[in-house]
Amino acid sequence: MKRTGGASARPPARGALIHYHEIALKGKNRSFFLKQLEANILLATRDLDCGPLKRLAGRLFLEMREETSWEVLRQRLSRVFGIANFAPAVMMAPDLELLAQRIEEEVSSRSFHSFRVAARRAFKTFPQTSQEINEIIGARVQRICGARVDLTNPELTIYIEILPAEAFVYFDKLLGPGGLPVGTSGTVACLLSGGIDSPVAAYRMMKRGCRVVFVHFHSQPFADRTSQEKAIELARLLTRYQFASRLYLAPFGELQQEVVSHVTGRMRIVVYRRLMLRIAEQIARKEGAQALVTGESLGQVASQTIENIATIEQASTLPILRPLIGMDKDEITQQAQQIGSYEVSIIPDQDCCSMFLPRQVATHTTHREAELAERPLDLERLVAQAHSAAYSLELSFPG
C-alpha cells in the first residue's frame, strides 16, 4: 500500500475532534469568533486533564489524557455554544497504511454486521481520492470482520478526515449545541423569575453569543426565600453554558405595597412590570449590558397582550429582547426539559408576580394610562431604593 511519502509517523493521540459551522461563515471576523470558541472550550474543561487545544483547518482538536473521562468531556462540550458536532477521535499521521492498521485494531473489538467508510480529504494533495480511500479501507475491514458494506443504513460508520499534517479516525459523531460562542454578541440582562419561561429565554440568548446577567425580583419579607433559592439554582444551571455568571437579587415586596396603596387594581400588573424594567435597566447599565431580556410570549398571560407589551416596554430606554415571543407554552416547556431547568422551575414558590395580585387585569393599556396610574408614585425613589438594596452573587462552572 502506498504511503503519503512525507509524513513522519507520530504516536496517535486521543481527543475530541470539534467542528463548527456558523462560525465558518463569518468571513473576515472568523478569527474573533474562533478565539472566543477556543477560550470557552478551555473554560468548560479547565478542571479536566485535557489539552492542548489545537486549531486546524475548519476544526479544533482537544487532546485528552488516559485519565480523562470521555463521558464527562462529552457533557462539557455538548454545552459549548458554537460547536456544530464533535467526536472522540484518534489523531495520527496522514499515512494510509497506518490509518488502515489503526482502523483494523479498532473494529476488531466491535460487533457489527454492516458498515460504511466516510473519508474526507480537507486538502487534495493526498495521493488517493476520498472514494479510493473508502474502497481500500472498506476492503481491509471486510477481510477482518466479514461485515457487508451498507451506504444507506450501516450499523457502523468509519469516519476518516485527512489534513496535510494529520489525519483523524472516529466512529461516532455527536451533535453540539450550535449557535455562536458566548461572549461574541455583547452582554444582556435577563429578568429571571422562578418560572419556566425566563430560563429558556436566557438560554436562547446565550446560544446567540450573548453573555447574560441575571436579575431576580423577590417579595421578602412578605414571602419566603423559595423564589430566591430557585433563581439561584436556575442561574447556577445556566452558568454551565457561559461558565461565569452574576445574579442580582432585588427586593420588590415593599414597592408592590406602595403600588397597591396608590394604583387601581386593574393597572397594577402593568405598573409592576414597568418598575421592574426601570430597576433592571439600572443594573444593566452598571454591568455594561446593551439590552434587557424577558421570557414574554405573546398572549400567554394578561400582561403579555401586544398592547400591554408596548406599554410596559416604554418604561425602558434600553432595547428589550423577547426570544420566546412567538413560541407557545408546549414549545417552551419542551426546551426547558431539554436544558434541565424544567424540574427546578415547577417547584412551588411565592414569587413576586403572584403577590398582591389584583382580581382584574387591564389587557389593552396605553402609555398615557400607565403614566396616569404612576403619577402618585415617586418612581425615582422607588427605583433607587430597589437598586441600592439589590445584592449580587457570583457563580462559576466548573466550580
Per-position pLDDT tens, the chain of length 399:
444 444 445 689 999 999 998 998 888 899 999 999 999 999 999 999 999 999 998 999 999 998 889 999 999 999 999 999 999 999 999 999 999 999 999 999 999 999 999 999 987 789 999 999 999 999 999 999 999 999 999 999 999 999 999 999 999 999 999 999 999 999 999 999 989 999 999 999 999 999 999 999 998 777 778 899 999 999 999 999 999 999 999 999 999 999 999 998 899 999 999 999 999 999 999 999 999 999 999 988 888 999 999 999 999 999 999 999 999 999 999 999 999 999 999 998 766 555 556 667 889 999 999 999 999 999 999 999 999 999 999 999 997
User: Which of 145, 175, 205 is where one domain is finished?
Assistant: 175
Q: How far is CA 110 from the centre of its chain?
A: 34
194 & 83 share domain: no
The answer to whether the beta carbons of residues 345 and 230 sit under 8 Å apart is yes
Question: Does a structural domain hold residue 132?
Answer: yes
φ and ψ of 398, to 5 deg: -65, 150
166 and 75 in a single domain? The answer is yes
Q: Which structural domain range is residue 142 located in?
A: 13-175
The verdict on residue 115 lying in a domain is yes
175, 202, 227 — which closes off a domain? Answer: 175
Q: Are 238 and 386 found together in one domain?
A: yes
Q: Tell me: do 35 and 94 sit in the same domain.
A: yes
Q: Is 144 contained in some domain?
A: yes
Q: 166 and 196: one domain?
A: no
Same domain, 40 and 90: yes
Considering the domain architecture, whether residues 55 and 80 belong to the same structural domain is answered as: yes
Q: Are residues 91 and 23 both part of a single domain? A: yes
Residue 4 resides in a domain: no
Residue 200 falls within a domain, yes or no?
yes
> Is 101 annotated as belonging to a binding site?
no
Write the DSSP assignment of 319-341 as a string of letters: -EE-TTTT--HHHHHHHHHHHT-
Q: Is 191 labelled as part of a ligand binding site?
A: yes
360 belongs to an annotated ligand binding site:
no
Q: Is 217 annotated as a binding residue?
A: yes
- Tell me the C-alpha distance between 53 and 324, whole Å: 35
Is 86 within any annotated ligand binding site? Answer: no
Q: List the CATH number of the domain containing 357.
A: 3.40.50.620
Residue 89 falls inside a structural domain: yes
> Do 159 and 191 fall within a single domain?
no
Could you give the number of structural domains in the chain? 2
Residue 65 is assigned to a ligand binding site: no
The CA dihedral of 292, 298, 304, 308, to the nearest 10 degrees, is 90
Q: Is 33 part of any known ligand binding site?
A: no
Residue 363, H or E segment: none
